[in-house]
Amino acid sequence: MQKYTALTLAILGASGLTACSTTPATSVAEPVSKAQQLAQKYIIVDTHIDVPYRLHKDWEDVSVATKRGEFDYPRAIQGGLNAPFMSIYIPASYERNGGGYQLANQLIDNMEALVGRSPGKFAMAHDSKDVVAQFGSGKVSLALGMENGTPIEGKLENLQHFYQRGIRYITLAHSESNHIADSSYDIRRKWRGLSPFGKELVTAMNNIGMMIDISHVSDEAFYQTVALSKAPVIASHSSLRSYTPGFERNMDDDMIKALAKNGGVVQINFGSSFVTAMANQYGALRKAAAKQAGVADDDAFELAFRKKHPYPFATLDTVLDHIDHVVKLVGIDYVGIGSDYDGVGDSLPVGLKDVSTYPNLIDGLLKRGYSETDIEKILSGNLLRVWRAVEQYALAQSL
């Protein structure tokens, strides 16, 4: 086991990271007042928060302060979050076993019920105009994105159904390939990109006014999507492969350039395993240690391993590095926020532990020399530009 300690320290040293305790402080130093002011002055859109599935598995009333999770109304207001895209997450097993259509509808029902129970705190956002109109009302606008297109079930009438229910983006696949596209995590590349139906679905999503999300898909599926799509696409919660070599789930520089040429936007995922090589490799180190010890890589082993080899949490600066990289590569107009709160377990960076901490991000951007105009684009302007372009394309097709 000792050699993994040495390996951990070696990689940390090469990456400029620090091994933190397994229960780091909730945030770094209080942000300066200007950052707090900007968090309230500008719309903040976060395109990926996994509240619906969190509540499906472990219900809490998120209209008040909660003991668990990274999102609730008080913390959202504190952080200035105006429009979270609530992830209608469908696990990959539903592609094999069925039931995805049912689960998606239930999760949407739950979000509508949340608004119904707390109409003074939440409102649905069915288009970009709703987000703008509801800004300043004290309400958190809940937009909906479907993570994994399994519930479409190969039927364009289901796309229409979910559009009517408020879904405004679909992540084409998740952790396994489905009937639409190959997944970046799945070594079986059945379709070598998009399936025939997936190609049909891209056009249909353009025509109906639904954003196409290429997070999770294989590289081939990504390039086929941007070639086919007549409207900008998004990566709702992806970070950069240059910081996590070999991790196909993230985007490489050529993909970012192609996304920018398409007019799209990459929304940076905050999870430590998405933004640092050491955290990305931590699971493999643990599995190797379990194999060497001849024991199961179970919860008990993970706990013991973490005591000897603390998880290498990323920091606020690491996330800022990803934003900087996109800006230097393609410009300020193609990057935003897709935190993956409530979706990446306890792997969130020091300083960005929940939805109250967006001012920390803003403070970091200010310290790195970003202007207010730049910051507004990162917080929401770039995503809203894409959303409007998708809406306008669909409107033009209907005339």
pLDDT at residue 24 in the model: 42
pLDDT at residue 14 in the model: 35
pLDDT at residue 20 in the model: 43
175 and 92 Cβ atoms separated by less than 8 Å: yes
Reported pTM: 0.91
User: How many C-beta atoms surround the C-beta of residue 298 within 10 A?
Assistant: 9
Nearest to 211 by CA among 165, 167, 250: 167
Segments in 242-298 forming alpha helices (H): 253-262, 272-275, 277-293
For residue 293, give both structure tokens.
């010890």
Alpha carbon distance, N-terminus to C-terminus of the chain: 66
pLDDT at residue 33 in the model: 84
Report the C-alpha gap between 39 and 358 in whole angstroms. 7
User: How many C-beta atoms surround the C-beta of residue 220 within 10 A?
Assistant: 16
Which of 1.10.510.10, 3.20.20.140, 3.50.30.30, 3.40.50.12780 would CATH assign to domain 2-6+42-276+312-398?
3.20.20.140
pLDDT at residue 240 in the model: 98
In the chain, domain spans: 2-6+42-276+312-398
Report the C-alpha gap between 142 and 124 in whole angstroms. 5
Contacts of 299 (CB under 8 A, 6+ apart): none
Report the C-alpha gap between 248 and 217 in whole angstroms. 9
pLDDT at residue 30 in the model: 53
Helix (H) or strand (E) holding 144: strand 140-147
Contacts of 288 (CB under 8 A, 6+ apart): 4
Angle among Cα 324, 325, 329 to the nearest 5 degrees reads: 115
Report the C-alpha gap between 80 and 178 in whole angstroms. 36
Report the C-alpha gap between 191 and 39 in whole angstroms. 43
pLDDT tens per residue, the chain (399 residues)? 333 333 333 333 333 344 443 334 444 555 448 999 999 999 999 999 999 999 999 999 999 999 999 999 999 999 999 999 999 999 999 999 999 999 999 999 999 999 999 999 999 999 999 999 999 999 999 999 999 999 999 999 999 999 999 999 999 999 999 999 999 999 999 999 999 999 999 999 999 999 999 999 999 999 999 999 999 999 999 999 999 999 999 999 999 999 999 999 999 999 999 999 999 999 999 999 999 999 999 999 999 999 999 999 999 999 999 999 999 999 999 999 999 999 999 999 999 999 999 999 999 999 999 999 999 999 999 999 999 999 999 999 998
User: How many C-beta atoms surround the C-beta of residue 397 within 10 A?
Assistant: 14
